[in-house]
Structure 1
């Protein structure tokens, strides 16, 4: 019996455009065929479709089973199906085999209609843009004019970026997973060595090996090399260490005497049974030549027309093939174009392939993001948090001050936004366009569940890409004291915001002074509740200190509030002595 949360039995279908398919290289392909599968039901409005794009050696079979006796599910079955991240009770999910592949879509192993023989090396070179253009034809054929999202990992993520550039008007959102806008030298090097392994195999025969054995040794080595890049040092050490292969034969001393060698040999042999060497050459070449900064001059220029697309960009902490900094470059370019972008780094030791393994985290993140795209928040946020928001105005006087300072329908950036409660309050009741920055991964997911576009970043170094005066208000509440460079953070806030609101615990409060005087130890208070060795606070300061730095920076103080025992004061005697929390509204340069 098939699992209840499975899409069940599925069939790979084919689509062939009537007209020749034009490639960027100037050549055309006749009789192009696209293999694809669909899951779920396309609604009457045809507005619930999601396009899933596979990675380098994937195929159209993303979910379900091809037969009742099939033991192997589609490659992303853990994410596609009833109640899963891509919930097929709500969405119509499409996955096609890429151009140049060998799983049903036209590629080097397909028959050339002009010769009646396989293309081999006569197959024209193609690009990521060509791959996306063929996917677009399939989507058009299915009668879909707008996609809820297009999602892909690794090389699939490159195609997602290409979709957002070529067809931004067709996308509500885009999900880019463990990908990059270009390959670095190390990734290029691995592809070059892999291709050389194939080309050096005598059985490659100039690419005309169809009907024969083919370059199985070269292709297996290419796969073994590639597979190493999909893992991480930690995951390989945990899985294999220096374990010896107990089944090694005497002639295995140079190859399989260790378990890791045996594993890689197995992966190579399994790969040659399902993949074509020429497809590997062509597809890796297309991936190597994908370079958005080179094509557009800068990465930010590539996304100049994508400002209406909502983005979710994720990276893997242990990914050394496409490191997190490459995803962060994409995020920075999107933010430079005022795009709605959420960024999250998945903490995992599994390396590049973690997006296929860390199902629980991926499901939380993507489900919450898709609910936000639909104009909703998750049930967790709806049931437990939004109902509490008005109470927060009563319980948190700092929220009350900030809430009253923000004008309706303004653009707000909340730095160190925590679980997003303050931003959600402003978005819900003042209709602001809100954005968050938070470094804690658990709180980032919570923000996404609250329907907030949030970037996981360190505010000490994550603000430089914003243009001057991007926001009407920039908020930093109860966080300045945790930064390494408070002055630098303040300068950036004043640069990117028309108004700046900063709240902080006042270390000059009389109770703190007395505790220091009589106990000689770092005090603990309601505003500073942590022990000195557990506190996230780095720079403790007083209201007077803050006033001085504002003066030194030439900042105009528009307003100031003093909080004491949950009461709000605008004046009074000796505020530096009696206030527990201070909130300043500033206007910058």
Structure 2
């Protein structure tokens, strides 16, 4: 049950393709005698969880912030030092940033079903082969169960806050609904209680692109060392999804109809426009670090999530502070999704504050970026009540 450091020279586990920060740790949870019982049925034993910590826990134990990552994120939201790998939420986490690690202890873990160190489809199953398509369906509830078990393993009690954006916001919402006493506050950023039909349609096309790649091999590509997997299909799925992460305004401002032909010329097969090169670049970045079966597993969890479809643990007068953050330019989880969340949570008796950013044209991805108004608001949410550790 010990947490194991990953020194710089230590290779990543064989089921992890992406480079890992030397600050990554592993915890092994849910032993065979006490397996993780999944919401949709089935169990998992010896669940490996990849996580990172920043800052120092206060003696009072009231300064821990748990960060939930989005669809293709991981346990590394920010650099620990100048020599570290860049993280996915650099503007938000670190000394002097909104979630100030000089004051807060931050924990972030790769989700169950992921591919950056936590047990997922590339992990060897009981027969020694990668789970692949046999990896069981996971839900937001399962992800939160693993997060909570990790915190118990680390000796962390009540949290200062749970925060996340997009898929991470869904995890934070699930945590709030089922375990509202776990944290003093919950910050849900650019998220929704359930996907719209439009969202589901984008997911369906992305899945179809992965399945249609001949190298998908019915999901068993990881069993063949000579099969790189459905990189073309996953790349197309990423290109499609990335369009929902940016606004039409930001795409037009960044690229317009500017030409950027491929080296071997243009034609009907590949267009001559810079926006196409950009989407190809985004596809290449993802397939170099992400697993297609994990993409299918996590998008399926998002598709299935319907936060208020089953009873919740909230009662009138519940104590956590709830903060909703949305962006006017977000066409994936727009302002209407936040309004609906506000109405449902307020009806459940919670005190909810909303911040709606109208200054950023970046779209859904704005929650990851250096957007001054949004970051200033987040800084107000995380302005001290946590105490600085003595000494």
CA contact (8 A) 2:261 2:271 kept: no
SS at match of 1:81: coil
> Aligned to 2:163, what secondary structure does the other structure show?
strand
- Per-residue Cα deviation, 1:197-248 (whole angstroms, up to 9, x for no partner): 0011111001110121211110000000000100001000000111111445
Count of aligned pairs: 360
CA distance in 1, matches of 2:73, 2:132: 20
Q: Which residue of 1 aligns with 2:283?
A: 268
- In structure 1, the residue matched to 2:92 is 79
1:77-104 C-alpha deviation (Å, 9 max, x unpaired): 2111111101111100011000000000
CA distance in 2, matches of 1:80, 1:67: 14
Map of 1:9-24 to 2, 5 A cutoff? 11-17=23-29, 18=31, 19-24=34-39
C-alpha displacement of 1:188: 0.5
Q: Is this contact kept in 2: 1:46–1:143, CA < 8 A?
A: no
8 Å CA contact 1:62, 1:74 repeated in 2? yes
Kept in 2: contact 1:10–1:66 (CA 8 A): no
Provide the residue aligned with 1:173 in structure 2: 185
For 1:124 and 1:67, how far apart are their aligned partners in 2? Answer: 39
* CA distances 1:13-34 after superposition (whole Å, capped 9, x unpaired): 0111133211112211122100
Report the secondary structure of 1:148's partner residue: strand
Structure 1 residues 481-520: aligned runs within 5 Å: none
Q: Which runs of 5+ in 2 are unaligned?
A: 1-20
* TM-score, structure 2 as length reference: 0.88
Alignment partners' CA distance in 1, 2:324 and 2:79:
26
Corresponding residue number in structure 1 for 2:8: none
Residue 151 of structure 1 aligns to a residue whose secondary structure is strand
What CA deviation, in whole Å up to 9, does each residue of 1:379-428 have, x standing for no partner?
Answer: xxxxxxxxxxxxxxxxxxxxxxxxxxxxxxxxxxxxxxxxxxxxxxxxxx
2:70 equivalent in structure 1: 55
1:340–1:374 distance in 2 versus 1, CA, 3 Å: farther
The structure number with the bigger radius of gyration is: 1
Aligned pairs for 1:439-454 within 5 A: none
How much is the aligned-residue C-alpha RMSD, in angstroms? 1.9
**Correspondence for 2:132 among 120, 136, 145:** 120
Q: 2:328 is matched with which residue?
A: 317
Pick one of 232, 250, 261 that aligns with 1:235.
Answer: 250
Aligned counterparts of 1:286 and 1:306: Cα–Cα separation in 2: 30
Return the offset for 1:249: 2.7
Q: Partner of 1:180: helix, strand, or coil?
A: coil
Q: 2:357 aligns with which of 331, 346, 353?
A: 346
Instruction: Quote how far apart the aligned CAs of 1:358 are.
Output: 4.0
| Cα distance change, pair 27–221 in 1 and its aligned pair in 2 (3 A) | same
Counterpart position of 1:258: 273
- 1:151 is displaced (CA, Å) by 0.3
Residue segments in structure 1 that go unaligned for 5+ positions in a row = 1-8, 376-589
Question: Which structure carries more helix by proportion?
Answer: 1
Determine the structure 1 residue equivalent to 2:106. Answer: 93
* Counterpart-to-counterpart distance in 2, 1:173 and 1:102: 29
1:133 and 2:145 are equivalent in the alignment: yes
- 2:214 maps to 202
Aligned mates of 1:306, 1:318 — CA distance in 2: 33
Deviates more, 1:303-312 or 1:350-359: 303-312
1:568 paired residue number? none
2:331 match: secondary structure: coil
Name the structure, 1 or 2, with higher relative contact order (CA <8 Å, separation 6+). Answer: 2
**For structure 1, which segment, 152-161 or 9-18, has the greater mean C-alpha deviation from structure 2 after superposition?**
9-18
Q: Could you tell me how far 1:252 is from its partner in structure 2?
A: 5.1
